[in-house]
Amino acid sequence: MGNVDKVIHARWVVPVDTANQVLDHHSIALSKNRIHAILPTENAKQKFAIAEQVNLSTHAVIPGLVNAHTHAAMSLFRGAAEDLPLQDWLQQKIWPLEGKWVTEKFVRDGTRLAFAEMIRSGATCMNDMYMFPDVVGEVAKSVGMRSSLGMIVLEFPTAWAQNATEYLDKGMKLYEEFFDEPLISTIFAPHSPYTVADETFETIADLSDEYDLPVHMHVHETKDEVENSLMQHGVRPIERLRQLGLVNSKLQAVHATQLTPDESSLFAESQVSVVHCPKSNFKLASGICPVAQLLDKKVNVAIGTDGAASNNTLNMIEEMRFAGLIAKVSSGDASKVSVNEALRMATINGARSLGLESEIGSLAEGKLADFTAIDLDDINSSPVYDPVAQIVYAATRNQVTDVWIDGRRVLENRKLTSIDESECLNIAKRWGAKIIN
């Protein structure tokens, strides 16, 4: 057990444990990048008097939010394509924009902008799927953002690679390059069943097994996707993936708006994680993921913002709120997805989907120091009867005051410490001016 070098005193600590505890006037003692202890503030002040003290006297401290599906660099396309369904949005707007503009520099600038927004809204970890994941990794290291890089795979060319073989080769190089980076993991990211061929999926299934790496994929995002698969392959995409050996505990099935009860049961048995992206699914009219049904069957459901071009924010507080609200109306049962369940989806379930649940996603002795402080002393979230209810249903991103990732305070009194926010904003504006013309 190392020395305690920092103690954070909070009005409330919400560890996201199995008992849904809310700890009043508790403190978190840090030893380097790990949680040494969580204890009553009174005791902490005596016991760790010589350590650095941080007072968050009106704040709730929660595990850092895990954004389990995003395309970070698309922040630069925020608001560039409105009021369109998925296929029109992709084919008429997004793919042409990407073809014209996406370069290493675009990804560097867009990813940094995205990290600024994610951290300021309380996220400490993100699971990316985009071109130039090596650049995403560089930005993640420099910012100190815990990141899963997507080893993306498509059958058609993009600025990153020409064909499935090249995507996979570059993916494995990425894996090797970032293997030892403490903040970074690499994950297979075949785009979707409709953009990747059977043989490529078979290779990915083998590699995922050999290297013990998760597989991050859009699955059953729309009804059209399911219908086209029935026409082309004679089976629904999930059945096709099952036959190809991909429906297992490594799969992160993103979106999943079209699920039969049998498919939900298959996901439960196979320990698939579902990543729910409610705002994007609503905005593109894709459909509604049956979250209440999945949770009833004990499927691990995480939450992601998707990219800013279909959301248009990367704000996990808003996403968690939306997930809670829609689970109630879509199941017809207001007791579904309680405030504690919503917070769990946005934290520990996200960590579990990435295979990181023993290290992050909840606050406990020995876990990594990834956490977020939200000041509830605001007209927007007062009075406080239950801090978790206020976080899930009332707080806004500007109430996030401090964020620690791996023990590093990347947001301090609402100021980013590892990103020059005004420079980041100026760069975004320059991109906007260039792209619009």
Contacts to a second copy from residues 301-360, by CB under 8 A: 308, 311-313, 315, 318, 322, 324-326, 328-329, 331-336, 338-339
d(CA 232, CA 237): 10
CB 375 within 8 A of CB 90: no
Judge residue 135's burial from the number of C-beta atoms within 10 Å of its C-beta, 0-12 exposed, 13-18 middle, 19 or more buried: buried
**Piece in contact with a second copy (CB under 8 A), picked from 243-251, 362-370, 388-396, 402-410:** 388-396
With a CB cutoff of 8 Å and minimum separation 6, the contacts of 329 are none
**Piece in contact with a second copy (CB under 8 A), picked from 36-44, 152-160, 296-304, 391-399:** 391-399
d(CA 146, CA 66): 9
187: nearest Cα among 368, 354, 318, 49: 354
Dihedral angle, C-alpha 210, 213, 216, 217, nearest 10 °: 10
The footprint of a second copy on residues 164-183 (CB under 8 A) is none
* Residue 70 engages a second copy in binding (rule: CB under 8 A): no
We find the least distance from the C-beta atom of residue 302 to a second copy, in angstroms, to be 20
The footprint of a second copy on residues 71-110 (CB under 8 A) is 76, 78-80, 82-86, 88-89
Task: Measure the N-to-C terminal CA separation of the chain; round to a whole number of Å.
Answer: 58
**Piece in contact with a second copy (CB under 8 A), picked from 99-107, 182-190, 356-364, 378-386:** 378-386
The footprint of a second copy on residues 395-414 (CB under 8 A) is 396-398
We find the least distance from the C-beta atom of residue 356 to a second copy, in angstroms, to be 26
Measured from the CB atom, is 127 or 311 closer to a second copy? 311
d(CA 251, CA 275): 10
The footprint of a second copy on residues 226-285 (CB under 8 A) is 279, 281-285
* Residue 22 engages a second copy in binding (rule: CB under 8 A): no
Q: Give the chain's radius of gyration (CA, Å).
A: 21
We find the least distance from the C-beta atom of residue 249 to a second copy, in angstroms, to be 30
**Piece in contact with a second copy (CB under 8 A), picked from 16-24, 233-241, 243-251, 390-398:** 390-398
We find the least distance from the C-beta atom of residue 222 to a second copy, in angstroms, to be 10
Angle (nearest 5°) at CA 189 between 185 and 194: 170
* Residue 394 engages a second copy in binding (rule: CB under 8 A): yes
Measured from the CB atom, is 53 or 396 closer to a second copy? 396
CB 335 within 8 A of CB 344: no
